[in-house]
Structures are given as structure tokens and as C-alpha cells.
């Protein structure tokens, strides 16, 4: 069924414009009588805007695709060629070029037939072949789960889209036809595809300004994920439509009379809100259907921008506006290029009604979004839309650079596709659009990655504010940087944008790998010294043999694996030395590895015993964690001596280090204050404090202190014991029960 013949129950379907006449089917096509109407409709549309030679190329692609898919059928029983034809029809509605339409007709041949990319390149050119390849799925590996394979396919598709946005337009048209024909697949697959559409494809359509497609994706997904809710809500809307028809007609007539009185020529359309939008409002605001009053709205289309504001004034003079319900997306367009005035007014009988006021060109862009670029290539008004779209596509490349695996990349993309925006200003007056809930750290990374990495503080509206502050519309944000600053891992707890999250993780992982490689080098040197050899004396031949025989990685990657605990240094040392040592040879170990501080990401201080400088310590290599430092008497170390590594505190070790203490004190006024003052007098910070009621007249207080060394802690404890109300103080290990 062509898009033109779809029922009108979905108000955001994509009707294709009918041509003046229905020409005969293109030559050289296989005789598929059931699809003759679809062929005729497609080529009638194409001849309205493409050159004859382009139409001939698309006809050849039809013939090629029909032959390739001959004998294949969809789940609905239709010949498979009906699907590529439907995809091409949607692209023809968007008036895409011949290369995109050719790729649409061929988009499944690489996946479902024996046709190769080389064959497509030979017959239709490299650009078309690249588009088909961008839409095609990767071959699934045997050890990949469905989720991993899907994430990898999404990454491939989105990165191809960053090179050529037509890739995603073809994929969106492909998904649209699949969603329209979901009834033919089994229920579990239907729900999975619908959920995927709602989570990924609908937000992408919205981000590209394809509002009509975005709405239909939501409606179709809602119908397939929650079929019963869809039917109930649809019935309720039909009933309300009859009850409110008189009111809506009265408003429509009044507006059509009022606007000409103000010398405004306009097209006025009443519209019913989409079922998914009503359902989402009911769910988010915990409303019943009867409480959702604004299920109707009106769209007013005028000739130019001044007329938009004149119409707004006329409407505000007719009905009272609802405070806080006015949005000027003409002065400040949405990130996807959408422009319109939105206002909510109180109509007759107290019914709230939303009005959208826009020009014809704005209406076209709201419908076709970035796809309208091919129709309006030279219009100046399109340059901003093209620029913002290019910036978003470029951000996908940045996310790819900062993401390690496909699942992480997809997570970041989902974050950036989240609806809701906040508009803030740079010190120079430039407007930036960020996700709702974004913070100054998100703002810093949106300006430039280097500014985000070096961010230390911020000014919001010329006032110093914490970096985790949520930004509001109209805020003026200034970022303060320092040359030697670095991202804080705690930022991951509050940043909202995918770019900020990806770049912070990338920086931390890079830093961890650098430190892990340095630690691995020290551990390997120590192991080689134990066999009487030095790392510097190995030579390149030993490394080449090892890398070829055992890992296939680089020398740096092997050292990083050692530092992360993925390889044991003694085993690597033996394999590097080969015949130069005997299995029984054992030489005295080299000096201990020095622990320089608590900020080394390759070295972790164990939470079970919380070692601080001055404590006797031992190191243990843990897979994926690297070197973990424990106190020598930590109970968790029993029975694992073979894994121990000699470590010692560096003489110039830097803190602070966290330690827990338990203070038992008599209940008296001001005890907690005196404890806090004493701790502060000895240059220690209290990271956390809690209390439990003790027995009788005593209370147990638990402090997490930041200290420089064991001697520093001893001075604090000594002075705390001198306080008159303190009866007992002990240092706690995390694995000790509170009553120890």
C-alpha cells in the first residue's frame, strides 16, 4: 500500500503528492502486476523534480533490485521488492536525489542476497555503494549477543551518517515502512522493534527536524508496545472529539474572523494531539484522560515573520494567555532547526488551547527538516539548519573517538537524543543549546573539549557557582580554566550530555592506561631482576618473539595489561627470557615498588584496610584493577602470598588519605563541636561523620578523616583522647564490625 492510500487515523502519516498523470511503468521492469500501481506512483513523483537520465538510473535500480530479491517474500506475504519501493516513495516525498533513491531501492541487497558492494559500485557508482553499505548491517560474530550486535550496527550506521546524512534518511524511511507493516511479525519481535524505534529512531528523526516522521514513529511504537492502552485511549479521544466538536468549531470560526480584521492573511488548521503525546502527559503528570484538557490545538500559517508576531498579538487580544506557556522558537530556533511561536490560551468554557504560529517555509522545515536541504539548497534561511546539523554529525565522530566499545557509544548518543533543551549564553553572547538539566561542565565541553578538560570553576550570571549547578534558560555562563587541571571522576555523577560524559571517560581511561603502562614497566623490571636480567638489556628480538607468539599486541599494550593485572609479570618475564633462564633459577628480587600517593589511577588503596603512609603494606595484582595496596595484616590477604608484590611508601608520598575512626564519648552539650574543632586544629578534613547511640550515657561517633600519614593520625588521636568527655578511640578498618 502506498503512503498516499494510508488511512487518515494517524494524522502524521506521510502522504505523497500525486502527479498530474500516471505514466506507464518504467521499461525493463519485471512484470509484477500486483506492484504496478506502486511503480507508477513512484515514477510519477520522480518525474516532477528529477532529470530524465536520473529517472532512468532509478528504473535500472528497480530492475536490479527486483531481480536480486526475486523469490523472496516479506512476513506479510508480499513480494520483497514492495519494501524497497515503499522506502523510495518516502524519499521521493522528501525530494531526495537520484543517488539516495537508487540506494534506497538497493538497501537490502547486500544483506539478503549474494550481491556485493563491488557489484553495486560497478553498476551504480561508488557514492551509491557507500550509501548502501552504510545502511547494511554488519555480519554478526558468533560470540556476540544480540544487544552487542545491535550496538555495533548502530555505531556503523551513525558514523556513516556523519559522513553522509542521506544514510540515516534511507534508514529512517526503511524503519517507517517496517513499522507500518509490523502486524505481520510475531508479538515479541513487534514489541522489540517498536521499543527500539521509540528509543533510537524517533529521537533521531526529531533531532534532524523530521517532525512528521517523529510523530508517526511515536504513534506506531505506542500502538505496538501497549496495544490495549492505545485502543482504550483512541476510543476516549474519539468520544471527546464528538463532545468538543462544537467548541473547536466556534474557536476556529472566531480566529478566521479575527485575523483578517488585523490585515493578516493566514491559513488556520485545527489539529488533534497525538495519542502518544496525550499518554505521555497522563503518565508523567499522573492525570486521568478527563483531566487532560488540551488535546486540541491550532496551527496558523502566515506569509512572513512579522505576520507571526502580529497574529500572536491578535490571539492574545482574543483569549487570555496562560503565564509561562509562551515559547519563541523563531528568535531562538530549536537545535533541529524548528521555528515557530507557541502560546497556550484559555478558550471558551476554560479550555486551554495551544497555538502554533509559523511561516510556510518554517512549516515545510518542521515537516521535512534536514531533508528539505535538497529542495532549498540556495536559500539563506537554510544555512543555520545545515550548520547545526553538521555540528551534531561531527559530534558523533567525537563520541566515537572517546568511546571504547559500541555499547558505550550508543549510550552517549541516546543521552544526546534525549528531548528537552536549555538555552544558555556564552560571555560573547552566543547561544548554546544543551540538554535540560545540563551543568557548567556540560557547557564547557560543548564549547571545546580542552576547555572542559581544564575546567576548575564557573560564573553563572557573574556569580561563582558550583560546577554541578543545573543551568536554566537565559543563563550567562563563563568557565574558569587552569593549565594543569584535569577532569574529576566525580563529574560523571552529574554531567548530562553525551559529549561531556564520553570525553571525561576518555581522559580518565587514557590517564589510567598511561599510569598502568608505567606501573607495568616497573613490575616487569622487578620480575626480570629476580631472574638476574634487566628490562633495558632484553633487546627488540625478545619482544618481537613474545608479541608474535603470545599476544599480537604492542609492547605498550603488554605493559598496560601487566599494570592492570591482566598479565602476571613473572610469566611475561619468563617468556621474554626464554632459554636464558632455567625453570628452577631464582635470584633475589629487586627493590620494592614505591607508592607515591592516593591519586595514582593504576594503584588502588584497598577499602578493606585503608592503608595510610607509615602502615606496613603489601601489594597484590588483581585482574582489571592493577596493583591493590593492603596493610600487611589485612585479613583478606590470607592464603594468597604467591600473588604479593613488594611495595613501600615513597619518602615524598602525597595525600590526603582517608581513614575511619570510632570515638565513644559521654552525652554532653557541645561534644561534637569540640571533636570537630580539635580535628580541624590539626589540619585534617572531616569527609564524613555519623553517630549511633551507645549504651547508657554514651554515644559512638564515626569519623572519616583525611590525613597525610600514620604520624599525622596519631597526633589527632592523642589530642582527641585528652578531651574530657571522650572515653575511647579506635581506628576502624572497613571490614570490622562497629562494636569492635
Active site residues: 111-112
Estimate to the nearest angstrom the gap between the alpha carbon of 81 and the chain centroid.
Answer: 35
CB atoms within 10 A of CB 640: 9
All cell numbers assigned to 635: 585479613
Say whether 587 sits in a helix, a strand or coil.
Answer: coil
DSSP structure class, residue 639? T
CB 370 within 8 Å of CB 208: yes
Closest CA to 169 of 238, 95, 222: 95
Locus of grid cell 627470557: 577
Distance CA 632, CA 628 (A): 12
All cell numbers assigned to 73: 517474500
Distance CA 144, CA 286 (A): 40
SS (H, E, C) 611-660: CCCCCCEEEEEECCCEEEEEECCCHHHCCCHHHEECEEEEEEEECCEEEE
CB 496 within 8 Å of CB 415: yes
- If you write DSSP's letter for every residue of 466-514 in order, what string do you get? -TTPPP-TT-BEEEEE-TT----GGGGGT--SHHHHHHHHHHHHHHHHH
Estimate to the nearest angstrom the gap between the alpha carbon of 361 and the chain centroid.
Answer: 31
Distance CA 84, CA 102 (A): 10
Say whether 247 sits in a helix, a strand or coil.
Answer: helix
Buried b (16+ CB within 10 A) or exposed e, 410-439: bbbbebbbeeebbbbbeeeeeebbbbeebb
Distance CA 199, CA 192 (A): 11
Query: Which runs of consecutive H residues, i.e. helices, occur in 303-344?
Result: 305-318
CB atoms within 10 A of CB 98: 19
Residue 288, burial from CB neighbour count under 10 angstroms (0-12, 13-18, 19+): exposed
CB atoms within 10 A of CB 62: 27
DSSP structure class, residue 24? P
Locus of grid cell 563563563: 478
Distance CA 207, CA 371 (A): 12
All cell numbers assigned to 626: 592493577
Closest CA to 368 of 93, 49, 100, 4: 93
Distance CA 513, CA 491 (A): 20
Amino acid at each position: 500500500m502506498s503512503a498516499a492510500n494510508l488511512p487518515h487515523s494517524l494524522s502524521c502519516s506521510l502522504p505523497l503528492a500525486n502527479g498530474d498523470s500516471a505514466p506507464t511503468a518504467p521499461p525493463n521492469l519485471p512484470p509484477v502486476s500486483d506492484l504496478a500501481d506502486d511503480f507508477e506512483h513512484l515514477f510519477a513523483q520522480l518525474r516532477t523534480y528529477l532529470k530524465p537520465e536520473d529517472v532512468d538510473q532509478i528504473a535500472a535500480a528497480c530492475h536490479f533490485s527486483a531481480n536480486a530479491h526475486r523469490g523472496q517474500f516479506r512476513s506479510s506475504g508480499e513480494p520483497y521488492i514492495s519494501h524497497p519501493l515503499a522506502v523510495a516513495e518516502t524519499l521521493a516525498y522528501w525530494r531526495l536525489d537520484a543517488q539516495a533513491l537508487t540506494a534506497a531501492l538497493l538497501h537490502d541487497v547486500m544483506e539478503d542476497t549474494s550481491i556485493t558492494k563491488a557489484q553495486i559500485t560497478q553498476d551504480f557508482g561508488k557514492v551509491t555503494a557507500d550509501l548502501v553499505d552504510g545502511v547494511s548491517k554488519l555480519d554478526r560474530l558468533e560470540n556476540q549477543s544480540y544487544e552487542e550486535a545491535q550496538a555495533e550496527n548502530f555505531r556503523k550506521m551513525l558514523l556513516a551518517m556523519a559522513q553522509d546524512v542521506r544514510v540515516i534518511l534511507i534508514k529512517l524511511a526503511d524503519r517507517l515502512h517496517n513499522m507500518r507493516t509490523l502486524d505481520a511479525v510475531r508479538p515479541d519481535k513487534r514489541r522489540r522493534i517498536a521499543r527500539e524505534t521509540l528509543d533510537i529512531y524517533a529521537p533521531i528523526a526529531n533531532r534532524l527536524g523530521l517532525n512528521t516522521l517523529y510523530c508517526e514513529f511515536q504513534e506506531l511504537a505506542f500502538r505496538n508496545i501497549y496495544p490495549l492502552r492505545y485502543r482504550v485511549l483512541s476510543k476516549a479521544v474519539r468520544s471527546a472529539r464528538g463532545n468538543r466538536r462544537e467548541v473547536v468549531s466556534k474557536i476556529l470560526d472566531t480566529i478566521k474572523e479575527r485575523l483578517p480584521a488585523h490585515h493578516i492573511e493566514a491559513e488556520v488548521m485545527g489539529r488533534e494531539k497525538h495519542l502518544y503525546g496525550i499518554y505521555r502527559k497522563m503518565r508523567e503528570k499522573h492525570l486521568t484522560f478527563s483531566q487532560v484538557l488540551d488535546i486540541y490545538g491550532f496551527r496558523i500559517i502566515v506569509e512572513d515573520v512579522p505576520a507571526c508576531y502580529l497574529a500572536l498579538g491578535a490571539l492574545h487580544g482574543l483569549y487570555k494567555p496562560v503565564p509561562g506557556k509562551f515559547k519563541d522558537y523563531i528568535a531562538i530556533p530549536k537545535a533541529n532547526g524548528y521555528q515557530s511561536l507557541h502560546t497556550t490560551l484559555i478558550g471558551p468554557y476554560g479550555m486551554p488551547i495551544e497555538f502554533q504560529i509559523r511561516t510556510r517555509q518554517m512549516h515545510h522545515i518542521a515537516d521535512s527538516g534536514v531533508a528539505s536541504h535538497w529542495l532549498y539548497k540556495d536559500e539563506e534561511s537554510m544555512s543555520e539548519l545545515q550548520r547545526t546539523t553538521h555540528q551534531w554529525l561531527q559530534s558523533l565522530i567525537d563520541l566515537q573517538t572517546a568511546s571504547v566499545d559500541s555499547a558505550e557509544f550508543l549510550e552517549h548518543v541516546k543521552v544526546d537524543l534525549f528531548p528537552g533543551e536549555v538555552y544558555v549564553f556564552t560571555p560573547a553572547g552566543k547561544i548554546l543549546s544543551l540538554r535540560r538539566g545540563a551543568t557548567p561542565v556540560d557547557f564547557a565541553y560543548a564549547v571545546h573539549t580542552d576547555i572542559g578538560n581544564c575546567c576548575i570553576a564557573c560564573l553563572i550570571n557573574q556569580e561563582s557557582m558550583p560546577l554541578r549547578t543545573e543551568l536554566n534558560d537565559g543563563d550567562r555562563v563563563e568557565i574558569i580554566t587552569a593549565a594543569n587541571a584535569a577532569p574529576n571522576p566525580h563529574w560523571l555523577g552529574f554531567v548530562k550530555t553525551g559529549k561531556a560524559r564520553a570525553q571525561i571517560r576518555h581522559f580518565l581511561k587514557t590517564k589510567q592506561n598511561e599510569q598502568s603502562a608505567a606501573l607495568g614497566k616497573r613490575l616487569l623490571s622487578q620480575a626480570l631482576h629476580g631472574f638476574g636480567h634487566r628490562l633495558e638489556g632484553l633487546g627488540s628480538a625478545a619482544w618481537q618473539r613474545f608479541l608474535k607468539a603470545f599476544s599480537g599486541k604492542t609492547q605498550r599494550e603488554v605493559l598496560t595489561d601487566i599494570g592492570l593485572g591482566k598479565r602476571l609479570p613473572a610469566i611475561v618475564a619468563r617468556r621474554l627470557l626464554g632459554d636464558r633462564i632455567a625453570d628452577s633459577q631464582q635470584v633475589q628480587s629487586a627493590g620494592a615498588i614505591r607508592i607515591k600517593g592516593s591519586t595514582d589511577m593504576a594503584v588502588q588503596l584497598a577499602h578493606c584496610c585503608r592503608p595510610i603512609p607509615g602502615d606496613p603494606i603489601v601489594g597484590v595484582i588483581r585482574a582489571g584493577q592493577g596493583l591493590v595496596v593492603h596493610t600487611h595484616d589485612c585479613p583478606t590477604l590470607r592464603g594468597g602470598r604467591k600473588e604479593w608484590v613488594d611495595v613501600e611508601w615513597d619518602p615524598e608520598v602525597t595525600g590526603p588519605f582517608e581513614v575511619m575512626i570510632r570515638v565513644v564519648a559521654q552525652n554532653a552539650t557541645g561534644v561534637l563541636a569540640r571533636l570537630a574543632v580539635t580535628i580541624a586544629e590539626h589540619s585534617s578534613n572531616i569527609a564524613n561523620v555519623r553517630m549511633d547511640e551507645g549504651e547508657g550515657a554514651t554515644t559512638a561517633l564515626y569519623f572519616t578523616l583525611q590525613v597525610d600519614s600514620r604520624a599525622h593520625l596519631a597526633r589527632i588521636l592523642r589530642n582527641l583522647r585528652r578531651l574530657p568527655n571522650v572515653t575511647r578511640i579506635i581506628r576502624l578498618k572497613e571490614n570490622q564490625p562497629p562494636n569492635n
